[in-house]
């Protein structure tokens, strides 16, 4: 679908080559994309946009990519694009001359600030004709808004937003308002962007040679682009390399690969429901079991200048949260005179040094996120290293786990109470795994991680959830295999002891295909009274008059009040069932029916996950199906675990 060049006619370029790309070109394309449902059509539309920008004004390619993915910089820089509704409404009132109350009314009615912005005609007179917006100045303004700091920050943001909205023509205001809210609502998943960009480059290279691209070339280019963006998650570096190379080939991997200081999205595991299932999945393969520690994931980077950086599961910079980890890692890497560069994958757990015991996850969670000083620490932490991705200038992700593990053990040394290697055992029979699981639980772990050890499937796959890392959690062997990460989107008033508070919450999973939060269950257990009171006051600021437009819920389970989808709650459940009332994963298993969760119970709040990291509709459907897979010896294998 992307090889023939007919898609290049979908949007006609409206500027001279070399000139800045007008923002209207992108806004018009967004408008069409917002009304497109098919993934192939969306990809063709985006490929067309990217091709024309690349072909005519390549310097605008990077800001175009950022505006399309609605981000401003690589994740670890922590630049958030979103501004609050109140500020946006105020800026809109200033830009249009409309009253705040009228704007609020429209917003409540339509549920979309983008639509409100576009229908609020500018009445403000400007002394001079305002120049048309271009892609690069919209991007630069958004960047300045995100970076604004200091006492006058709110005022500066408001002024800049107002300026953008005054200059916006036609539908431009819609996508500026939506970008500022942090949601474009055009369903452009990362994989679509990668495929479209690959197609644009292949097309451009073919055009300059006077040839036609073929589908296999586009696929190959997309694969290379995906690999390098997983290993080097910086569109700045990738775009710079692509523009220099003018094509996508193996040279891209040489230019954009794993780099200390640039966090990669970690490899993730699939849930597993029984030891028998593990044995089936790894049949004919060498695999290994490791303790599954219950703490916080930490990707620890050692830079060539000797400095250390610590990144969370979401590539957030946690270096200042863990000054103690920094000290311990320096001891563990030894006192060699040179400064080896490295990237470690590890779990940081709270640790009682007197009792030599791992403490529950909550101890870690209590720690402040930033500016933690060594003198204020209340809990000791232990780094448990389980993988190494980079050592002394060499990326290791494509080496088998057995080899990476040998390098890890050679390069680092254990520090009592500070740094250790994940406890592992290369067992391969049911009894052996079961015994190891019992030991893991006794040693305060959540269960086991089972990983392919040798062969092409034992490489480290950044950002991927694969079958070659399985998690086997002690409590879920006989149920759905895992807990769920769900987002509160509404609440019901309480009765009895909970009168005056919320009694239960409506939770949703996330569907990245539609960019919607889909109602999945109602949870009222697992909360202490104290926690209920705390949630009640904390959530007061997130109460909405109407649901966000990206929330899906049927009338029959409508909550008493709607909440802004902000947090992720880890929920345990008995099983999954088909439900006519809940819309989660609707159509995945049964037409017109969703999936719901039975007997949900709140386990904890996952502050290390964003709402978009919640369990997806596709994962829910997969777990639903797995419930019915035959697991011959599952009950036998789990009974004593």
Q: Beta strands 575-579 and 287-292: pairing type? A: unpaired
Q: Which stretch binds ligand ATP (CB under 6 A): 171-179, 181-189, 285-293, 506-514?
A: 285-293
For the chain, how long is the longest CA-to-CA vector? 81
**Closest to 560 measured CA to CA, from 495, 632, 482, 626:** 495
Give the nearest distance from C-beta 619 to ligand ATP in angstroms. 9
Contact 308, 326 (CB under 8 A): yes
Establish if 115 lies at the interface with ligand ATP (CB under 6 A). no
From the number of C-beta atoms within 10 Å of its C-beta (0-12, 13-18, 19+), residue 206 rates as middle
Q: Which stretch binds ligand ATP (CB under 6 A): 150-158, 182-190, 243-251, 289-297?
A: 289-297
DSSP alpha helices (H): ranges in 168-290? 172-181, 190-209, 215-231, 235-245, 251-255, 275-281
Establish if 449 lies at the interface with ligand ATP (CB under 6 A). yes
**Closest to 559 measured CA to CA, from 509, 599, 504, 486:** 504
Establish if 98 lies at the interface with ligand ATP (CB under 6 A). no
Count of residues that interact with ligand ATP, criterion CB under 6 A: 14
Question: Binding marks (x or -) toward ligand ATP, 300..319, rule CB under 6 A?
Answer: -------------x------
**Closest CB to ligand ATP among residues 102, 409:** 409
Give the nearest distance from C-beta 613 to ligand ATP in angstroms. 7
Give the nearest distance from C-beta 324 to ligand ATP in angstroms. 18
Establish if 292 lies at the interface with ligand ATP (CB under 6 A). yes
Count other C-beta atoms under 10 Å from residue 512's C-beta: 15
**Closest CB to ligand ATP among residues 25, 361:** 361
Give the nearest distance from C-beta 582 to ligand ATP in angstroms. 22
Q: Is 270 a catalytic residue?
A: no
**Closest CB to ligand ATP among residues 292, 405:** 292
In our burial notation (b when 16+ CB lie closer than 10 A, e otherwise), range 12-38 reads: ebebeeeebbbbbbbbbbbbbbbebee
**Closest CB to ligand ATP among residues 83, 484:** 484
Give the nearest distance from C-beta 428 to ligand ATP in angstroms. 17
Establish if 322 lies at the interface with ligand ATP (CB under 6 A). no
Provide the 3-class DSSP secondary structure of residue 507.
strand
**Closest to 125 measured CA to CA, from 101, 90, 97, 159:** 97
Question: Binding marks (x or -) toward ligand ATP, 365..394, rule CB under 6 A?
Answer: ---------------------x--------
Provide the 3-class DSSP secondary structure of residue 311.
strand
Please identify the residue of the shown chain whose CB is closest to the bound ligand ATP: 297
Question: Binding marks (x or -) toward ligand ATP, 399..428, rule CB under 6 A?
Answer: -----------------------x------
Give the nearest distance from C-beta 481 to ligand ATP in angstroms. 10
Establish if 347 lies at the interface with ligand ATP (CB under 6 A). yes
Q: Beta strands 465-473 and 502-511: pairing type? A: unpaired
> What one-character-per-residue DSSP string does 95-135 give?
HH---HHHHHHHHHHHS-HHHHHHHS------SSPPPPPBH
Establish if 81 lies at the interface with ligand ATP (CB under 6 A). no
- Helices 100-110 and 85-96, interaxial angle, to 10°? 120
Give the nearest distance from C-beta 475 to ligand ATP in angstroms. 11
Establish if 72 lies at the interface with ligand ATP (CB under 6 A). no
Residue in 293, 510, 527, 569 binding ligand ATP, rule: CB under 6 A? 293
Establish if 452 lies at the interface with ligand ATP (CB under 6 A). no
Give, as ranges, the residues between 471 and 510 that touch ligand ATP (CB under 6 A). Answer: 471, 482, 485
Establish if 585 lies at the interface with ligand ATP (CB under 6 A). no
**Closest CB to ligand ATP among residues 449, 487:** 449
The tally of CA atoms less than 13 A away on the side-chain side of residue 167 is 20
Establish if 269 lies at the interface with ligand ATP (CB under 6 A). yes
Task: Say which residues have a Cβ less than 8 Å from residue 409's Cβ, sequence separation at least 6.
Answer: 421
Give the nearest distance from C-beta 426 to ligand ATP in angstroms. 14
The one catalytic residue in 9, 102, 191, 292 is 292
Contact 477, 433 (CB under 8 A): no
In our burial notation (b when 16+ CB lie closer than 10 A, e otherwise), range 211-250 reads: eebeeebbbbbbebbbbbbbbbbbbebbbebbeeeebbee
140: β partners:
none
The tally of CA atoms less than 13 A away on the side-chain side of residue 397 is 21
**CA-CA distance, 607 to 103, in Å (whole number)?**
33
Residue in 158, 187, 217, 297 binding ligand ATP, rule: CB under 6 A? 297
Which residues participate in catalysis according to the annotation? 292
Using CB under 6 A as the criterion, which residues of the chain lie in contact with ligand ATP when the complex forms?
Answer: 268-269, 290, 292-293, 297, 313, 347, 386, 422, 449, 471, 482, 485
């Amino acid at each position: 679908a992307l090889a023939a060049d007919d898609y290049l006619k979908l949007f006609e370029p409206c500027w001279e080559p070399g000139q800045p790309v007008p923002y209207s070109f992108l806004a018009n394309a967004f408008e069409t994309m917002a009304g497109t449902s098919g993934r192939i059509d969306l990809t063709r539309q985006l490929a067309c946009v990217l091709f024309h920008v690349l072909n005519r004004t390549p310097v605008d390619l990077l800001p175009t990519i950022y505006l399309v993915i609605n981000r401003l910089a690589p994740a670890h820089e922590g630049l958030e694009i979103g501004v609050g509704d109140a500020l946006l409404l105020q800026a809109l009132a200033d830009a249009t001359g409309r009253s705040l109350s009228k704007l609020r009314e429209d917003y409540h009615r339509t549920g979309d600030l983008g639509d409100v912005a576009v229908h609020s005609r500018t009445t403000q007179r400007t002394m001079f004709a305002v120049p048309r917006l271009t892609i690069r100045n919209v991007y630069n303004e958004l960047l300045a808004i995100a970076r604004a700091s200091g006492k006058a920050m709110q005022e500066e943001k408001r002024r800049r937003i107002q300026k953008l909205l005054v200059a916006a023509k036609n539908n431009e205001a819609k996508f500026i308002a939506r970008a500022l809210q942090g949601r474009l609502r055009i369903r452009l998943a990362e994989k679509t962007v990668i495929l479209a960009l690959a197609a644009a480059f292949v097309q451009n290279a073919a055009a300059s040679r006077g040839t036609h691209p073929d589908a296999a070339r586009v696929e190959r280019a997309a694969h290379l682009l995906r690999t390098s963006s997983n290993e080097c998650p910086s569109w700045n570096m990738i775009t710079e390399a692509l523009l220099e190379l003018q094509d996508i080939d193996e040279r891209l991997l040489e230019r954009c690969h794993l780099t200390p200081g640039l966090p990669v999205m970690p490899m993730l595991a699939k849930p597993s429901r029984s030891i028998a299932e593990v044995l089936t999945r790894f049949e004919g393969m060498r695999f290994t079991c490791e303790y599954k520690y219950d703490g916080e994931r930490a990707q620890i980077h050692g830079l060539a200048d000797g400095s250390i950086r610590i990144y969370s599961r979401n590539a957030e910079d946690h270096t200042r949260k863990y000054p103690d980890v920094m000290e311990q890692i320096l001891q563990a890497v030894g006192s060699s005179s040179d400064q080896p560069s490295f990237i470690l994958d590890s779990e940081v757990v709270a640790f009682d040094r007197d009792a030599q015991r791992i403490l529950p996850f909550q101890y870690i969670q209590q720690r402040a996120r930033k500016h933690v000083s060594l003198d204020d620490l209340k809990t000791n932490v232990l780094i448990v290293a389980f993988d190494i991705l980079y050592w002394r200038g060499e990326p290791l992700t494509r080496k088998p786990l057995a080899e990476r593990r040998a390098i890890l053990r050679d390069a680092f040394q254990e520090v009592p109470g500070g740094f250790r290697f994940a406890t592992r055992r290369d067992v391969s029979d049911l009894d052996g795994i079961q015994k190891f699981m019992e030991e893991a639980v006794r040693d305060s772990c959540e269960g086991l991680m089972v990983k392919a050890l040798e062969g092409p499937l034992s490489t480290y796959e950044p950002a991927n959830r694969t079958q070659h890392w399985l998690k086997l959690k002690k409590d879920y062997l006989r149920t759905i295999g895992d807990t769920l990460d769900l987002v509160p989107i509404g609440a019901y008033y309480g009765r009895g002891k909970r009168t005056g508070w919320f009694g239960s919450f409506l939770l949703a999973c996330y569907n990245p295909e539609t960019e919607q939060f889909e109602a999945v269950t109602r949870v009222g257990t697992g909360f202490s009274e104290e926690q209920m009171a705390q949630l009640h006051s904390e959530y007061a600021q997130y109460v909405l008059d109407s649901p966000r437009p990206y929330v899906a819920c049927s009338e029959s389970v409508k909550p008493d009040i709607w909440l802004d989808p902000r947090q992720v709650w880890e929920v345990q459940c008995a099983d999954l069932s088909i439900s006519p009332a809940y819309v989660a994963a609707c159509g995945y298993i049964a037409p017109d029916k969703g999936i719901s969760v039975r007997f949900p119970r709140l386990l904890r709040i996952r502050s290390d996950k964003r709402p978009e990291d919640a369990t997806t509709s596709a994962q829910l459907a997969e777990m639903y199906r797995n419930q019915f897979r035959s697991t011959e010896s599952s009950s036998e294998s789990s009974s004593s675990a």
